[in-house]
Structure 1
C-alpha cells in the first residue's frame, strides 16, 4: 500500500491530482516553483496524459514541448488543459486539436506550426503568442477575450489607465489572430478579428473625442468595412427619415404641394406618405425622375439625401465585394 502523500492540487472544477507529492505539497506537473525552463517534456507529458493524469492546472512555464501530440483519436472530447500555465512555453508543431485550454495562459507561447483547430480558449491569456503558420480555424474564444472582460471591470471601477492598457492588449491579440487567419487563408475569420481589433482601438479613444465620434460613425455605417448589412440599415433609415421630413414640410406634385394635413382623411395622408417614400427612394438612389420636386427646406433635405445616397451606394458595393471575394 502506497502511503506517500499526494499532490495537493485541486482544480476549480473539483478535480484532484493523484500524483506523488515532491515535497513541496505538489507533484512535478503542478508545482509552480519548480523551474521547468528548457526542460524537454514532450514525451513525458504525452505519457502522463495517456495514463490519465490530471492535465488541468499544469505549471509548464518556459518548458520545451516542441512537437507535443495531445490528440484523443476517436474521441469527440479533447484533453482538458484548463487553468494551465504555458507562459513562454515552446509549443512549436504541437498538435492540440479540440483541446480545452480555458482560464489558462498561453502568453508569449511559441505556437508556430502548431494545430489549434477547434481549441476552446475561453478566458485564456493569449497576449504575445507566436502564430506563424499556426492552424487556428474554428477557435472558440467565448464572447470576449480575457482582457476585454478585465477592461470592462476596470471601467466600472473608473480606472481608465488600467482599462486602456487592457483594451490595448485586446487589440494586439485580435491583430495577432487576424494576421494568423489571413496567413491561413481564413479571410472571413480575419474579417471578424479585424472588426474586433478596431472596436478595441475605438474603446481606447477618450469619450466625446473627435476620433471616437468618427470611429462610432464608421462602425454604425459599415462596421469598419466588414458589415455590408450596416450600410443597408443606414440607407433604409436615411430613406425613411427623409420621407418623414418630406411628409411634414411638403413637396411639389402635380403642380401642387402635398404634405401631412390634419384636415385630410387618413387615406389621403397615407397616399401622401407613400409619395414621400417614393420621392425619398428616387432621391437617395439619385434617379431623379422629376415627377415630384422639393420645395423650400425640403430642397436642402433632398440635397443632403442625394449626396448621402450616392456615397452609401458606392460604399455598399465596396464592402459587399470585399466580403464576397474573400
Structure 2
C-alpha cells in the first residue's frame, strides 16, 4: 500500500477498522465480563480465556502459555512484564480480539496468532513480537515507544494516526511485509531534534525491511520520508544541499518535482531575456521597468513568447539560431543551457527509475 495517495489509504483503513469494530461489537453481549482484577506472578497454562470482556484489569509478571484468548476484548487494562507464548488470539470468525485503551510495558509475544487484532488508543513500551502471525493487524490512534520484531508475518499489517518512536527488526530469516503493509506517515513539522532523529531511524528501518521483501517502490517511499526527517537535523551547507536535492527531484523519488523546477527555470530566464536583450528579425527586445508600462499589450505578449521560445530552445540545448542573445543575455543563456542539460538528465533518470521499479 503506497504512500503517494495517503488520504485515500487512510480512509480505506478507517473503513476496515470501523467494519471490524462493528462486527466485533455484535458479539459483546455474549461475552463474560471480568472487571478490575489484579494478577501478579502467575502462570496461565493451556487455559481457555476466549469470549471474555476484560475491563480495568492489571497483569504483572504473568505468563500465558498455550492459552486461547480469541474473541476477547480488553479495555483499559495494563500488561506489565507479561509473556504470551504460543497463544491464540484469532479463531477465524468476525469476533476478533480488540485491545482498547490499554498499556503494554515490556511484554513479549512468542509464536502467537494475532491475526486481525485491533489495537486502539493503546500505549506500547518495549514490546517484542517473535515468530508471530501479525497479518492484518490494525493499530490506530496509539503511541509506540519501542517495538521489536523477529521473523514475524506482518503481511497487511497497518498503523494509522500512530506515533512510533523506535522500531527494530532482528531477524534470523525475515519479517514478512507485502504491498498492503502500511506504516502511516508521521508529521515532522513540529517535532524537536530528538524526535526527528527517532523518526529518521524508524523510516530507515522500514525502508530496509521493505527492500528486504523486494518491495522496492514502497521502500523508496520510506527512503524519501527518511530524507525529509533527516533534513530537519542538518545544519548549514548540508541543510541547504538537502533542500536543493529535495527541490530538484524529491531526493530522486519525485519526477514531477524536476518537471516543475524546469518550468520555473524556463519562466525565470524568459523574464531575464526580456530585460537583458534578444535579437529577433532585425530588432532588439530589451525592456526597462519604465518602458514596459508604456507598450501596447500586443507587443508585450509577442515579445514574451519570443523570449519564452528562446528560453525553451536554450534550456533543451537545441539552439536553432533564429534568435540570438545580446549583451548580458549571452551569459544568461550559457547558464540556462547548463541548467537545462542538468535538469533534463535529472528528470529522465528519476522517471526511468520509477518506471523500472
Deviation at 1:314, TM superposition (A): 1.0
The one of 204, 208, 222 equivalent to 1:175 is 204
Q: Judge conservation of contact 1:106–1:129 (CA < 8 Å) in 2.
A: no
**Counterpart residue number, 1:92:** 131
SS in 2 for 1:85: strand
**Unaligned segments of structure 1, at least 5 residues:** 10-15, 72-77, 154-162
Query: Deviations along 1:90-133, whole A, 9 cap, x unmatched?
Result: 33232331423541437242242322415224324251321733
Tell me: CA distance 1:69–1:253, structure 2 relative to 1, closer, same or farther (3 Å): same
Please say if residues 40 and 65 of structure 1, whose CA atoms lie closer than 8 Å, have aligned partners that are also in contact: yes
Deviation at 1:320, TM superposition (A): 1.0
Name the count of aligned residue pairs. Answer: 289
2:224: which partner in 1?
195
| Distance of 1:118 and 1:22 partners within structure 2 | 27
Q: Are positions 1:240 and 2:279 aligned together?
A: no
1:115-194 aligned at under 5 Å gives the runs 115-125=154-164, 127-130=166-169, 132-144=174-186, 148=188, 152-153=190-191, 163-194=192-223
SS of the residue corresponding to residue 206 of structure 2 reads helix
TM-score of the superposition, structure 1-length normalised? 0.77
Distance apart, 1:307 and its partner CA: 0.6
SS in 2 for 1:90: strand
Give a deviation string over 1:206-252, Cα, whole Å, max 9, x none.
Answer: 3xx11111111111011111111111111111011101111122201
Structure 2 counterpart SS, 1:305 = helix
Cα distance in 2 between the residues matched to 1:268 and 1:23: 82
2:355 aligned partner: 324
Separation in 1, partners of 2:264, 2:103: 54
- Decide which structure has greater strand share: 2
Contact 2:89 2:117 in 1 (8 A): no
Is the contact between residue 108 and residue 129 of structure 2 (CA under 8 Å) also seen in structure 1? yes
Q: Deviations over 1:11-59 (max 9, x none)?
A: xxxxx964585699xxx973344x32xx344426558x99776522455
Using the alignment, how far apart are the partners of 1:187 and 1:248 within structure 2?
Answer: 47
Please state if 1:267 is matched with 2:298. Answer: yes
The separation in 1 between residues aligned to 2:128 and 2:233, in whole angstroms, is 30
Give TM-score, length-normalised by structure 2: 0.71
Aligned residue for 2:325? 294
Match of 1:81 among 115, 119, 122: 119
Q: Distance between the aligned counterparts of 1:87 and 1:192, measured in 2?
A: 26
